[in-house]
Amino acid sequence: MKFVDEFRDPRLIRQASEEIRRLADPSRHYRVMEVCGGHTHAIYRFALADLLPPNIELVHGPGCPVCVLPMGRIDDGLSLVDRHGVIFTTFGDVMRVPGRRGSPLEHQARGAEIRMVYSPLDALKLAREHPDRQVVFFAIGFETTAPSTALTVKRARELAVTNFSVFSNHVTILPAIRAILDSPDMRLDAFIGPGHVSTVIGARPYAFIARDYRKPVVIAGFEPLDLLQSIVMILRQLQSGRAEIENQYNRTVPWDGNLPALRALADVFELRPYFEWRGLGFISQSALRLRPDYAPWDAEARFGVPGIQVTDPKAAQCGEVLKGVLKPHQCKLFARECTPELPVGALMVSSEGACAAYFNYVHRRSAATAG
């Protein structure tokens, strides 16, 4: 419990931890999935597992956008630079994700025009500054970032910017949760719902998880106390045989979500019939592409992409880790061939990836103790 003292209110943390021990039935094993990569990061950073009894297992979910992106999409995006000479822009998290012939950062080092941006609006600005060049924004993220891409595309249309387009890899969280619930090896008891995605979609769309699958969902904030309280709420539901959607992050998540954001999404995007998720395979209606009305700003419609399929390196077990079947350190490559400095799989790239979080907070710490 070495981190307890730096928590905002250590007394409340201890109380929540004790309440969890009191509520947990010692004859049961609980498997609770935290869907969001931000939660995964916080759980490892604060060593929250140390505050839980051993029969409560936290399973890391698919809510890390770069982690679930198939390698072929990186290659498809980079093909636009090689074949069409576009300026490729994307968020920092994507820059180090390996493609078959290197990451965007490595392409940049070889002289390709690849720019990191902090906002899709920065990519649009770049296009306006370079009217003689095509600028592509490699868009990625769940419902937290998709509305920003949507508004940027609308802005490009308003300003009649014709040299800007979006290569959309936006995905939606609910079909992935459904796919996990439908998978035959599913042994989850409950979900900690994502905080920031839910500020956009609200709490209401999770209702099917409680209604059809009888699993509790508690949407949680990111502080250690938020996460512990959400586990208390989950255990109370399980103990009384309830399956409900509860909102621990009430202060920021409205029940109906962010309406202007939902309107922007509906206006600009439509669901793809199916999309590949790394580790989870093809999931129907799980990703967003631009509507035909916005085809001039859709990089896939404008340029066409090869549709590269890449099988992950055989030894890497990203899929098993993503599904929660393996813990990060149980992968054969973990901390050997695959490290945050030289990642093989995307789970080792992003701070929200389970492998990077495990490496930085558990592996390094135990290595330091051992040394």
Partner 1 sequence: MCLAIPGQIVELASGGHLATVEVSKVRRTINIDLLEPPAAPGEWVLIHVGFAMSRISAEEAAEQLRLLAMLGEDAQAMAELDGYRFDEPLGRRPS
Is residue 321 within 8 Å of 331, Cβ to Cβ? yes
Regarding 251 and contact with partner 1 (CB under 8 A), the answer is yes
Q: Which residue of 75, 76, 246, 352 would you call a contact of partner 1, by CB under 8 A?
A: 352
Task: Tell me how far, at minimum, the Cβ of 92 lies from partner 1, in Å.
Answer: 7
Name the segment binding partner 1 (CB under 8 A); options: 90-98, 238-246, 318-326, 331-339: 90-98
Q: Toward partner 1, which CB reaches closer, 119 or 285?
A: 119
What are the b/e assignments for 288-302, b being 16+ CB within 10 Å? bbbeeebebbbbbeb
Regarding 85 and contact with partner 1 (CB under 8 A), the answer is no
- 177 vs 285: CA distance, rounded Å: 12
Is residue 317 within 8 Å of 323, Cβ to Cβ? no
Task: Tell me how far, at minimum, the Cβ of 153 lies from partner 1, in Å.
Answer: 13
Q: Any idea which residue has 């992003």 for tokens?
A: 350
Helices vs. strands in the chain: H and E counts, helices first: 17, 13
Name the segment binding partner 1 (CB under 8 A); options: 12-20, 77-85, 125-133, 333-341: 125-133
Name the segment binding partner 1 (CB under 8 A); options: 15-23, 138-146, 278-286, 336-344: 138-146
Q: How is residue 331 written in tokens?
A: 């992968």
> What is the x/- site pattern for partner 1, positions 191-230, by CB under 8 A?
-----x--xx---------------------xx-------
One-letter amino acid at 88 equals: F
- Give the number of other CB atoms < 10 A from CB of residue 242: 12
- 64 vs 40: CA distance, rounded Å: 9
Element (H, E) at 87: strand 87-90
- 126 vs 32: CA distance, rounded Å: 43
> What is the x/- site pattern for partner 1, positions 310-339, by CB under 8 A?
------------------------------
Is residue 355 within 8 Å of 331, Cβ to Cβ? yes
**Helix-helix angle 224-239:10-23, to 10 degrees:** 20
Q: Toward partner 1, which CB reaches closer, 158 or 185?
A: 158
Backbone angles phi and psi of 241, in degrees to 5:
70, 20
Is residue 36 within 8 Å of 194, Cβ to Cβ? yes
Regarding 128 and contact with partner 1 (CB under 8 A), the answer is yes
Element (H, E) at 164: strand 164-170
Q: Toward partner 1, which CB reaches closer, 122 or 276?
A: 122
Q: Toward partner 1, which CB reaches closer, 152 or 317?
A: 152
Regarding 147 and contact with partner 1 (CB under 8 A), the answer is yes
Q: Toward partner 1, which CB reaches closer, 185 or 341?
A: 341
Task: Tell me how far, at minimum, the Cβ of 88 lies from partner 1, in Å.
Answer: 14
Segment 36-75, which members bind partner 1 (CB under 8 A)? 37-38, 41-42, 45-46, 65
Regarding 93 and contact with partner 1 (CB under 8 A), the answer is yes
The residues that touch partner 1, with contacts defined as CB under 8 A, are: 6, 8, 37-38, 41-42, 45-46, 65, 91-93, 115, 117-122, 124-126, 128-129, 140-141, 144-145, 147-148, 151, 155, 196, 199-200, 222-223, 251-252, 258-261, 264, 351-352
